Amino acid sequence: MSGGLAVFLVGFLLLYPSAPLFAEETAAVDEQRLVFGVLAHRGDDVARQRWTPFVEYLSEQIDGARFVLEPVDNDGLQAAVADQRFDLILTNSGSYVMLEQQHGISRIATMQPRQVGRDEDRFGAVVIARADRDDLVELDDLRGQRLSAVHPDAFGGWWMTWRELQAAGLDVESDLASVVFTGFPVGRGLDWVLQGEVDAATFRTGILEDLEARGDPRVEQVRVVGERAFPSFTYRASTRLYPEWPLAMRGDLDTGLAHAILLATLSLDAEHPASQAAGIGGWAAPRSYEDVHGLMYELGVGLYAPQPFDILVWLRDNILWLVSALAVVALLALLYVSRVHTRVRRSGRNLERSMDAIPDAVITLDARGGISYVNPAARELAGLTRDQVLGCSLDQLLDLRELGTGRPLLPADARGEALNQALGERSDARLVRRDGHELIVRIARTALDPVAGSSVRTLLVLTDVSEERRLVDRLVHEASHDGLTGLLNRRAFERELEIAMHAARDNRAVASLLLVDLDYFKDVNDRHGHRVGDELLRQVAHVLRQLTRGHDAVARIGGDEFAVIARDTNAEYGRILGQRICSALADRPLQVEARDVTIGASVGVVELGPDVPGVDEAFVAADRACYQAKDQGRGQVGVARKADIYPITGA
């Protein structure tokens, strides 16, 4: 194989590894030291204060592992990940996208904000100026002004604002007087504005609110330039919003250890001390970062930055060496030309064998979008022979559908730019095979430079990530559902209750909380044993599912206690639903292991509205109504009065 083709093949294999993200869990190893790298955008001290409790939490939760924290700045992060110094990485969205592409790290969770209902777990950037600068109102007013940012490669500290300035018609190189970078901590930009060293400064959202909460007087001395409002987003912003920071892991981290880290991370709620110290509301399943790709592509930065190599400068600096080298090459070429054709043919055969050996589906397309090559893995996915696939369009070869909607991913006979746009907007898709079996595949598309004698313009690699998606879905489900009944657990139910209460307080939708307490359940356990009791709880859960609607939330919140959020339901309709539940459980015995088991229930109802200040108050009011029902003879429904609803004070 020639040197050029060998380099191409090695690079190809590195860019498209065949090993899946999650493999079978391996046996636990002896305790090991794991480094958690954090981008310290507010300085090392703040990063240590925020994330040390989280690191200690992971060390406590995961046997055989000890985590240590290492704050790092923008310049040091790239080198540290390249050297595989970090096992876990927490960084901003733009930095993550580049590290994922260049070094194979993988996101496992996305940071959740503390505020309930915030816009899709996203953040943005804010531009500030001195409060007395009445001439700086919109971003367009920054023309001819001095602007400070955090770092040339800072996502929230520069790129977000750069994109908005460009959208406003400003060329940052010619229309701004200057752009200077403060570095970390980001608070330097605020000082420079107040000292008059710059006219405006930009940094990520939330900084102003944090300083204001600490009583920093500087916040009152500045104004926001180009302020934009977003529903349910509490921070002041000057730009559009992007996904929050992801938690990522090294590509070769042990899968068993990765599984344990993911479970421990998703189990954190907003009340845990580690979440409180970090200022977050917990963690969610990893979000899509396509918007970040769009920003980089539009600005030509990060993954889409132009190559800095200048051939003219290189030729000028190396002309003498180049002439000498060309003379030597010309002499060697005379000896080499007789063997060229044989080596080319041999290299081509070796390359094709290598592509055939790759377990992922590899497809190449010509300039018109026609298929020019498919490897055996791709033919197996399509269920066709080599001769049958050549000349087909991609939509004729593979039935690719959008996740969630099930709509065809590709328009019929998609060619050229239309095909590239359809594939470029998505990374994952559902593949329906000819035998009816469905897979989730990750599509990686690479545009290839034209080569003389070759019509190939696009390379597609499809990787089966079905098992990975099933694993993530299962872990997310386990973290939010009761293992016995399959209903929501108390933590997940409280999150749903907070959302319903916020909607009710904003007069967007009415809802009611029903607390269902089984009557005589202890007698069943004592008489028939816990196995019968567990099966009875499962049957009660089935009854509750049948009596409620698909958009209602049903949970098991205690041993024999259940709860329902009846959406679009006031207290009167909640009482009617409660009576249906009592009747369904008391009118006829339940069949459990070939025996009739009689059970009943008492229900407390509270309507969620402005009178209910919080989740705890809602539970207390419903619980009081339930006890009133029990006092009336069990099998009854009690509705909370306004007198039963009052704020809960104290710890």
Per-residue pLDDT tens for 138-155?
Answer: 999 999 999 999 999 888
pLDDT for residue 504: 84
pLDDT for residue 473: 75
pTM for the predicted model, two decimal places: 0.42
Mean pLDDT of the chain: 82
Please say if the pLDDT value at position 29 is more than 80: no
Residues 195-205 as b or e (16 or more Cβ within 10 Å = b): eeebbbbbbbb
Q: Report CA dihedral (319, 320, 324, 327) to the nearest 10 degrees.
A: 50
Q: Report the amino acid identity of residue 210.
A: D
The HSE-up count of residue 267 (CA atoms within 13 Å, CB side) is 12
Please say if the pLDDT value at position 65 is more than 70: yes
pLDDT for residue 11: 41
Decide which of 457 and 486 is more confident: 486
CA distance 284 to 109: 6
Please say if the pLDDT value at position 604 is more than 90: yes
Residues 508-536 as b or e (16 or more Cβ within 10 Å = b): eebbbbbbbbbbebeebbeebeeebbebb
CA distance 67 to 36: 7
Please say if the pLDDT value at position 133 is more than 50: yes
Per-residue pLDDT tens for 499-523?
Answer: 998 888 887 788 999 999 888 788 7
Q: Please, which pLDDT band fits residue 651 given cuts at 50, 70 and 90? A: very low
Query: Per mean pLDDT, which of 379-383, 393-397, 458-462 is the most reliable?
Result: 458-462
CA distance 497 to 209: 27
Compute the Cα dihedral for 365, 368, 370, 372 and give only its sign.
negative
Catalytic residue among 121, 399, 517, 560: 560
State yes or no: is 534 an active-site residue: no
Residues in the chain: 651
Q: Give the N- to C-terminal CA distance of the chain in Å, as an integer.
A: 73
CA distance 92 to 89: 10
Contacts of 485 (CB under 8 A, 6+ apart): 537, 538, 540, 541, 556
Q: Please, which pLDDT band fits residue 37 given cuts at 50, 70 and 90? A: very high
Q: Which residue has the tokens 């599509």?
A: 443
CB 606 within 8 A of CB 571: yes
Domains of the chain: 31-114+244-299 (3.40.190.10), 125-240 (3.40.190.10), 358-463 (3.30.450.20), 481-644 (3.30.70.270)
